[in-house]
Amino acid sequence: MPHYGDYQNAIYGAGLAGVVPRLPVDFATLEARAVAAMPASVRDYVQGGCGDETTQARNAGAFGHWGMVPRMMVDGSRRDLSIDLLGLRLPHPLFMAPIGVNGICTPDGHGDLAAARAAAETGVPFMASTLANDPLEAVAGAMGDTPGFFQLYTPKDVELAASLVTRAEAAGYKGIVVTLDTWVTGWRPRDLNTGNFPQLRGAVLTNYFSDPVFRAALAAPPEADPAAAIRQWMGTFGKVLTWDDMPWLRSLTRLPLILKGICHPDDARRAIDLGADAIYCSNHGGRQANGGIAAIDCLPDVVAAAGDTPVLFDSGVRSGSDVVKALALGATAVGVGRPYAYGLALDGAAGAAHVLRCILAEADLLMAVNGYPTIPAVRAAGAQRIAR
Ligand code: FNR
């Protein structure tokens, strides 16, 4: 029976023939290579975060104060990483978090398609952002048999919101992820210091420019007058959502509704009471608000509040051991963000797929060594907070 950890054997086997991996297997080396290779404006947008980036650093650092205790004399020779999520049976609990500048992470400008191809190659579901360089239909078409989710940045124009969701349903996405924390952009010094906001330069707006409702509101098509189309986008991006909007959001789709950005247990309870099918615990990788506690430290309370409702998690996941810790703390599925974007930047779909395979391999091997052959076993083992 093949295991994700077999990727390690493939790497060592190639090493015997003098072949080393094209990309590093660890995050620190990957990030260093990627930031050296990316154009400065893309690098700053992807690597940077809010304020002095304390929250962003804390997200990743906080995994260091959670630890797991191995169990011995358990047969871990066959591992089953599969999970049930929102009616889907998935082979493992990893997914690719939505990243609105995937499109410009690859030199050809088609990074969304490359991310979708990485999903097809690895079986890691991709959450496609509203902000993309290729239309959501084409992105869905590149995912092969791997299920995808559509992440909605809710526009102020409710007809446009409905149109985007209807398109996502028609394209075969399996759920709608509504991001709650980004109706306004957080204070991002790296981008401010260079006056760079990709969307204002017309990047990653294809889902808007290809939308019939968006186009109908323009005097001239975006191809003829891109500046007017960008102004139109500025006017509609970022509807302020409150709990009063939940019936409307719920009415937009029969697909599972996943609310992204929930870090407080009361918000998790309220979301579920009002019809959310899943909670997505995330602080947007520290890109939206600085000064917060690490997302992984919010996770246990959110999981407790969510009860039987699935909890997706991201923010600071850099390795397979981070994934297993998040699962041990109750996450149903775990999202990878910046690491796969760096993979895209260095080697397109193959680079992102390599990053995902490394994370899956490390998680699988950790489960083998620690005597956790299944995800329920990981959860039963739990993780302990390490006193400093
Ligand atoms: C994001 N994130 C994000 N989230 C979202 O819901 N829609 C989006 O379009 C984007 N865009 C985006 C761009 C970039 C460059 C980054 C790095 C992140 C947030 C993303 O889904 C996820 O929450 C974070 O990436 C998690 O943090 P780490 O683990 O990547 O640090």
pLDDT tens sequence across 209-265: 999 999 999 999 999 999 999 999 999 999 999 999 999 999 999 999 999 999 999
Q: How far is the CA of 312 from the centre of ligand 1 (A)?
A: 14
Q: What is the pLDDT of residues 103-124, one digit of tens each?
A: 999 999 999 999 999 999 999 9
Mean pLDDT of 193-208: 97
Q: How far is the CA of 97 from the centre of ligand 1 (A)?
A: 6
Q: What is the pLDDT of residues 5-52, one digit of tens each?
A: 999 999 999 999 999 999 999 999 999 999 999 999 999 999 999 999
Which residues belong to the active site?
Answer: 284
Q: What is the pLDDT of residues 283-324, one digit of tens each?
A: 999 999 999 999 999 999 999 999 999 999 999 999 999 999
Question: Atom 3 in ligand 1: which residue has the minimum CA distance?
Answer: 99
Q: How far is the CA of 1 from the centre of ligand 1 (A)?
A: 34
Mean pLDDT of 353-379: 98
Question: Atom 22 in ligand 1: which residue has the minimum CA distance?
Answer: 284
Mean pLDDT of 322-341: 98
Question: Atom 31 in ligand 1: which residue has the minimum CA distance?
Answer: 285
Q: Across all residues in the chain, what is the average pLDDT?
A: 98
Mean pLDDT of 97-107: 98
pLDDT of residue 55: 98
pLDDT of residue 387: 86
Secondary structure string (H, E, C) spanning the chain: CCCCCHHHHHHHHHHHCCCCCCCCCCHHHHHHHHHHHCCHHHHHHHHCCCCCCHHHHHHHHHHHHEECCCCCCCCCCCCECCEEECCEEECCCEEECCCCCHHHHCCCCCHHHHHHHHHHHHCCCEEEECCECCCHHHHHHCCCCCCEEEEECCCCCHHHHHHHHHHHHHHCCCCEEEECCCCCCCCCHHHHHCCCCHHHHCCCEHHHHCCHHHHHCCCCCCCCCHHHHHHHHHHHCCCCCCHHHHHHHHHCCCCCEEEECCCCHHHHHHHHHCCCCEEEECCHHHCCCCCCCCHHHHHHHHHHHHCCCCEEECCCCCCHHHHHHHHHCCCCEEEECHHHHHHHHHHHHHHHHHHHHHHHHHHHHHHHHHCCCEHHHHHHHCCEECCC
- In this predicted structure, the answer to whether residue 388 has a pLDDT above a threshold of 80 is no
Domains of the chain: 4-385 (3.20.20.70)
The residues lining ligand 1, judged by C-beta closer than 6 Å to any ligand atom, are: 45-46, 59, 97-101, 129, 131, 151, 179, 260, 282, 284-285, 287, 314-317, 337-338
